[in-house]
Structure 1
Amino acid sequence: METVVLPDGRTLEYLVEGPAEGLPLVLHHGTPAAAVRYGPLAVPGIRLVLISRPGYGTSTEDPGRSVASAAADTAAVLDAAGIAEFVTAGWSGGGPHALACAALLPGRCLAVATMAGVAPSEAEGLDWLDGMGSENVEEFGAAAAGRAKLEAFLNHAAETMGEVKGSEVIEAFGDLIADVDKQALVGGFADYLAQSFRHALSGGIAGWRDDDLAFTKPWGFELATIEPPVSIWQGDQDRMVPFGHGQWLAEHLPDPEVHLLPGEGHLSLIDNFKLIVATLRRQAAA
């Protein structure tokens, strides 16, 4: 794990793995999560960059941050790592942050993928909570009610997620996962998610809280301004970020390559990671 000190004094933790000559890929983690190694994410020819967003792991919190804030933070990490151009992908709550990099770093970001990524909460024509598991409905209801209500909810949830083991992940997810996701939670994947949750919440709930609050307000950029090529990946069995989010993004992002996948859930979507990376590589080279 490496760290970079930002101009405002905050510190971000990050990992860079893969060949120095590989195509840099910034993978924005979900909510909650952090920069944790996972072997299947290592794709030949790719230099993978993982960043713990503010408030996760040992990264300093940044209260009041917006989704757009991720672009400057990402640029600072890339500068520290000696990386100029890159591609990016965001999984789940990382999706909006990847789109922020595409919108606000157009001279550096060559392509972007959103993997089961969240749509804007104010998205016209989208019932944002429709199809979400009961835990997410309660969580974002608390977020809409304000910081105090959200902190109370997350502090309680973190009692479980902050100590969870791989063998307990299915139970911890509760109503948030469909059968296809339960089938995906075997062996190393469950252990990786548990490790990511534990590290993310090791310093408290600030990262989780500030992600949720950022999702409930304007992101700080316009989707229509995104210039790099975009691909959208979404499963119709997703109970964390429902299928409607992917459909809405497909209709509102500039000329995206759309992969709406029948039978895939939220977690099982990671099985498509090599194909997602191949798509990013192809788009970056176009």
Structure 2
Amino acid sequence: MAGKISAASARAHTRKSKQNTSFKLLSGIFTKTLLVLFVGALAWAYQAIQPPPPKTCGSPDGPLITASRIKLRDGRHLAYKEHGVPLEAAKYKIVKVHGFDSCRLDAVPLSPELVERLGIYVVSFDRPGYGESDPNPKRTVKSMALDIEELADQLRLGSKFYVIGISMGGQVIWSCLKYIPHRLAGATLVAPVVNYWWSGFPTNLSNQAYQQMLPQDQWVLRVSHYAPWLTYWWNSQKWFPSSSVIAHSIDIFSSEDRKLLMKISSTRNHAAQVRQQGEYESLHRDLIVGFGAWEFSPLELDNPFPNNEGSVHVWHGDEDRLVPVTLQRYIAEQLPWIRYHELPGAGHLFMVADGMWDNIVKTLLVGEK
């Protein structure tokens, strides 16, 4: 009897051992499968967030070089276009900085009469990654100002020149006022983009302005500020809406802007050039730099013209739905040396209205309005 019990126990023990062995084997397979899936998911995620390399102009698979360009100290090229009177005959020399999703070919449409009467020369250039200017993967707030200074030096604009920036290009002018004020004869910011994280803004004011944006655009800026490494994926995925600005949604424009859009679209035949090197080094890099952590705040700037040898102007529409007017007003209040021009009923595109550019430029150069 004892022998039978012992044999039965042995068989039971054997079965249990086999079950344990099978369980361990299955558990090992399951663990390895999970590990493989996890590694695969990580590899997929890594690939998904990596932007493709830019199609640099002049490279074997890149667009052709058609513009005049200068070579910068670091080897990059900046493409530019000259407008107005010849440089050697100019009394006023202006560097124009284009906005988001734009390029050097979006010129300042001044009247020929004003150009000739005042002797105005304007050079517009493609910011890095746009049009035919080489991308700058190391682009910073400061590097943009230094690019402008080097462009002016290579074109021989003289010791001082004027700068005008539009929208995201207007934001660039703050960096000029910070890093190269000694080179400026005057500056104008037209509907300049505001970074909601600049120090100096009251929290309630910046939060209220931030909430005025479409929810999808709020998320785009959050990602650009807090997780810039996700910016490409966020703006290229198809699961949920990304930037309405990149998508050219008319929902972001005021009623006045929508009227002006027709005027813009009828004369803009170079849109394909803007993003031709890829969206990451142009549009996405703009978001990362423009809404990232700045090393200074415009609200802390000193007057670059303490002896009134020049002037700084900000123009803004009170119906601008892309850049809240409340933040622009606050900046103007904190910087009393800013000459602030607020246009009732105007949206973000007011500068393309008939005669508007003449008013903006005359105000900067000779004080007329």
TM-score range (shorter-chain normalised) is 0.7 to 0.9
Closer, same or farther: CA 91–146 of 1 in aligned 2, 3 Å: same
Aligned residues: 270
Which amino acid in structure 2 is aligned with residue 151 of structure 1?
A: Y
* 2:145 corresponds to: 71
1:133 and 1:177 in contact (8 A); partners too: no
Q: TM-score, normalised by structure 2?
A: 0.67
Please show how residues 1-286 of structure 1 align to structure 2 within 5 Å: 1-19=67-85, 20=87, 21-22=89-90, 23-38=92-107, 40-41=109-110, 44=115, 45-84=119-158, 85-123=160-198, 124-125=201-202, 126-127=206-207, 129-134=210-215, 136-155=217-236, 172-187=248-263, 189-192=264-267, 195-196=270-271, 198-205=272-279, 206-223=281-298, 224-228=301-305, 229-271=311-353, 272-282=356-366
Moved more, 100-109 or 86-95: 100-109
CA distance in 2, matches of 1:178, 1:29: 21
Closer, same or farther: CA 63–245 of 1 in aligned 2, 3 Å: farther
List per-residue Cα deviations over 1:20-61 (Å, max 9, x = no partner). 223111111111211114472465132111111111112111
Listed as ranges, the gaps of 5+ residues in structure 1 are: 158-168
CA distance in 1, matches of 2:110, 2:234: 31
Shift of 1:101: 1.7
* 1:162 corresponds to: none
Closer, same or farther: CA 131–55 of 1 in aligned 2, 3 Å: same
Shift of 1:69: 1.4
CA distance in 1, matches of 2:332, 2:153: 31
CA distance in 1, matches of 2:268, 2:323: 17
Closer, same or farther: CA 136–28 of 1 in aligned 2, 3 Å: farther
2:79 and 2:125 in contact (8 A); partners too: yes
Closer, same or farther: CA 217–252 of 1 in aligned 2, 3 Å: farther
Shift of 1:194: 6.4
Listed as ranges, the gaps of 5+ residues in structure 2 are: 1-66, 239-244, 306-310
CA distance in 1, matches of 2:303, 2:282: 26
Secondary structure (helix, strand or coil) at the match of 2:187 reads: strand
Secondary structure (helix, strand or coil) at the match of 2:162 reads: strand
- Greater length-normalized contact order (CA 8 Å, ≥ 6 residues apart): 1
Closer, same or farther: CA 41–67 of 1 in aligned 2, 3 Å: farther
CA distance in 1, matches of 2:124, 2:99: 11
Closer, same or farther: CA 259–120 of 1 in aligned 2, 3 Å: same
CA distance in 2, matches of 1:41, 1:152: 40
CA distance in 2, matches of 1:194, 1:236: 29
Over the aligned positions, Cα root-mean-square deviation in angstroms equals 2.5
1:55 and 1:203 in contact (8 A); partners too: yes
Shift of 1:282: 2.2
1:234 and 1:260 in contact (8 A); partners too: yes
CA distance in 2, matches of 1:215, 1:57: 19
Q: TM-score, normalised by structure 1?
A: 0.84
Closer, same or farther: CA 148–102 of 1 in aligned 2, 3 Å: closer
Closer, same or farther: CA 212–39 of 1 in aligned 2, 3 Å: closer
Which amino acid in structure 1 is aligned with residue 273 of structure 2?
A: H
Secondary structure (helix, strand or coil) at the match of 1:50 reads: strand
Moved more, 35-44 or 241-250: 35-44
Secondary structure (helix, strand or coil) at the match of 1:114 reads: strand
Closer, same or farther: CA 38–112 of 1 in aligned 2, 3 Å: closer
CA distance in 1, matches of 2:142, 2:335: 16
* 2:63 corresponds to: none
Q: What is the identity percentage for the equivalent residue pairs of Structure 1 and Structure 2?
A: 26
List per-residue Cα deviations over 1:190-216 (Å, max 9, x = no partner). 2445634x3220110112112111122
CA distance in 1, matches of 2:157, 2:252: 37
2:250 and 2:258 in contact (8 A); partners too: no
Secondary structure (helix, strand or coil) at the match of 1:31 reads: coil
Closer, same or farther: CA 49–179 of 1 in aligned 2, 3 Å: same
List per-residue Cα deviations over 1:49-81 (Å, max 9, x = no partner). 111111111211112422221111011111121
